[in-house]
Chain A
Amino acid sequence: MEIIDAQVGLRYPGERFPDDERRFETTFQSKLDVLRAAGISRAVAGRNEWVGGISCVELLFRNRMIAEACQASEGMLIPSASINPCFGELACDLMRQCRKELGMRLVGEMFDTSLGFQWGTPEYYQVLACAVELRMIPLIHCENEVIAELGERYPEGQFLVMHLYSGKVRDHRPRLVALAPYPNLSLVISGTPIGIAGAIRDAVRMLGADRVVFGTDHPSIDPVIAVMMVRRSGISEEDQAKVFAGNFNRLWEWTDV
């Protein structure tokens, strides 16, 4: 069964951090190795990094680095663009460059409030409208109260909403209730909440198997464990195939212009 991971934190080749000795799979190569060990054939790789105070020129440079790193992965990693919505039209220009010059089809990880993101501004809305126009898919971390606005404002777009629960409400059910009315929003079941027994089955029951997308959030979660959670979630093989890759592939087709 094909497995695509919709959320992995990217390390550049050769990049090291001071606390790496205390952690595992911290290098570009070791990350690829553990993804392969989990049976994952492709993974969306983004930089979960601060965007506030970073200029568009610097962000363009960052996106080139992301694209180059993913190219070095021999087809394993799918690059996701790093964008600061507060730049409005300039951010849209950057997304166009990412789309046309770097071949990026996903944006993010984006947030509603952390890492320099600020939800609810005209610029943020403008950037999401640009993403829809460019047929790019934003990966958005948000609280449940943001979900309805996202779903209603951009019915013609496609969005990946990250995690089975948010920072404020540590229960997956309210999130599923919030997501259910909006077919343009798919849920990525990555991160810590993937450990909740029954949560994946609940997501498939409440959203339908077509709107649940596999992700790990590596390095926070061991990809081998994340794959195991889906396999043991109590959903059918057919639904597993959709969650593991079918739904991502369908979203990918939507990005074909």
Chain B
Amino acid sequence: MIEIIDAHASFVFPGEPLPNDQSLWPTFESRLEVLREAGIKQALASRWECSDAHTYDELVRLNRRAVEVCKVADDVLIPAAIVDVALGERVCELLSYCRHELNMRFVGETGRTSAEWGTAAFWQMLDHAATIKMIPIVHCADKALAELGDRCTLGRILIAEFVRREEYQVNRLNPYPNLYPLFSGHRLVQAGAVLCEVRVLGAERVVFGSGLSGMDPVVAVECIRRSHLNDEDQALVFGGNFRALWQWTEA
């Protein structure tokens, strides 16, 4: 039985209404349910649907609550730190708090907007994350991968929704062993993509995520199962590589 860990899911707080009705899983419970239905044992849970700007104190409270909620969920959910690059230099202070006080090991998700990407605080945050052994989930355009890989050589970074099926596209990650493609999001339905990434980068680099709630985890799991990867590689993609990254955070 292959262990499945979803490294890219989003969560809402129990009882929290979503701002629209576009999600097929609008509640905390429905998201847990669909993760279980998919056979997912644990999921790294970020919050990107409710990412209004917050003050430092609000973000501290939000992160505390995220940790509490994930505990209630029988440890199915692993909370990723909720940060806002707009905090400027204090974003590093927030990361330290999340790491040392709340024992969070991942930072999710950054770089979704051009306002976040490439600011001084953004790079400081990534440097600081590497120092305190936290792993950020970063959205990154292909043309910016080289900059990210060159500047952040000490840490580990998960590149969100990196689904590519052409070798030249996947090759952009090849020089940067510190960057891990997070095979997640709706584009993972593209036939042959995960196989291409494993062929080019090696099965030890590709990390499975569903992209919940933008993608159905049940379908996401099926996409990997039907991808023609052998069982050994599937085990790495589904959970083994995430475990290795987790161990890195313990060093």
Q: Is the CB of A195 within 8 A of B191?
A: no
Residues in B whose Cβ lies below 8 Å from that of A226: 189
Nearest neighbor of B23 in chain A, beta-carbon distance: A198
| Chain B minimum-CB-distance residue to A19 | B167
Is A219 interfacial (CB 8 A cutoff)? yes
By beta carbon, the residue of chain A nearest B196 is A22
CB-based contact B190/A192 at 8 Å:
yes
A197 and B23 contacting across the interface, CB-CB below 8 Å: yes
How close is A223's CB to chain B, nearest CB, in angstroms?
9
Question: Are the C-beta atoms of A225 and B226 separated by less than 8 Å?
Answer: yes
Q: Is the CB of A202 within 8 A of B22?
A: yes
Q: Which residues of A contact B204 (CB under 8 A)?
A: none
Q: Using Cβ atoms and an 8 Å threshold, which residues of chain B touch A233? A: 24
Report B-chain residues with C-beta under 8 Å of the C-beta of A219. 191-192
Given contacts A224-B226, A229-B216, contact A197 B24 (CB under 8 A): yes
B228 sits at the interface (CB 8 A): yes
Q: List A contacts of B187 (CB < 8 A).
A: 192, 195
Contacts of B214 in A (CB 8 A): 196-197
Q: Please determine whether B192 and A232 come into contact, CB atoms closer than 8 angstroms.
A: no
Q: Does B126 contact A (CB under 8 A)?
A: no
Is the CB–CB distance between A232 and B186 below 8 Å? no
Q: Which residues of B contact A221 (CB under 8 A)?
A: 189-191
Chain B residues with CB under 8 Å of A36's CB are none
- Does B223 touch A at the CB level, under 8 Å? yes
Interface residues of B, count at CB 8 A: 26
Measured CB to CB, the nearest residue on chain A to B21 is A198
Instruction: Tell me, rounded to whole Å, the shortest Cβ–Cβ distance linking A9 to chain B.
Output: 11
B215, A195: Cβ atoms closer than 8 Å: yes
- How many Å from the CB of B125 to the closest CB on chain A? 27
Contact of B218 among A195, A224, A232 (CB under 8 A): A232
State A192–B22 Cα separation when bound (angstroms).
19
A100 CA to B158 CA, complexed, in Å: 56
Residue numbers in A under 8 Å from B216 (CB-CB):
197, 229, 232
* A193 and B190 form a contact (CB under 8 A): no
Q: Does B46 contact A (CB under 8 A)?
A: no
B228–A24 CB distance below 8 A? yes
| A64 CB-CB contact with B under 8 Å | no
A131 interfacial by beta-carbon distance below 8 Å: no
For residue B188, CB closer than 8 A to chain A, the reply is yes
A197 & B213 in contact (Cβ 8 Å cutoff): yes
Q: Looking at the complex, which one of B186, B190, B195, B222 makes contact with A197 (CB distance below 8 Å)? A: B186
B219, CB-defined interface residue at 8 Å: yes
CB under 8 Å from chain A, chain B span 19-65: 22-25
The answer, yes or no, to whether A114 is at the interface (CB within 8 Å) is: no
Flag whether A201 is at the interface (Cβ < 8 A).
yes
Q: Please tell me if A220 contacts chain B, counting CB pairs below 8 Å.
A: yes
Q: Which residue of A lies closest to B185 (CB)?
A: A195
CB-based nearest A residue for B220: A195
CB-based nearest A residue for B212: A197
In the complex, the answer to whether B191 meets A24 with C-beta atoms within 8 Å is yes
Complex: chain B residue closest to A173, CB-CB: B22
12 contacts between A and B (CB under 8 A): A22-B199, A193-B186, A195-B185, A195-B189, A198-B24, A220-B190, A221-B189, A222-B189, A224-B222, A225-B223, A229-B189, A229-B219
Instruction: Beyond A192-B187, A225-B191, list 20 extra A-B contacts (CB 8 Å).
Output: A22-B192, A22-B196, A22-B199, A24-B192, A24-B228, A192-B186, A193-B186, A195-B187, A196-B186, A197-B23, A197-B186, A197-B212, A198-B23, A219-B192, A221-B191, A222-B223, A224-B226, A226-B189, A232-B219, A234-B24
The 6 closest A-B pairs by CB, nearest first: A195-B186, A195-B189, A196-B186, A222-B191, A197-B216, A198-B24
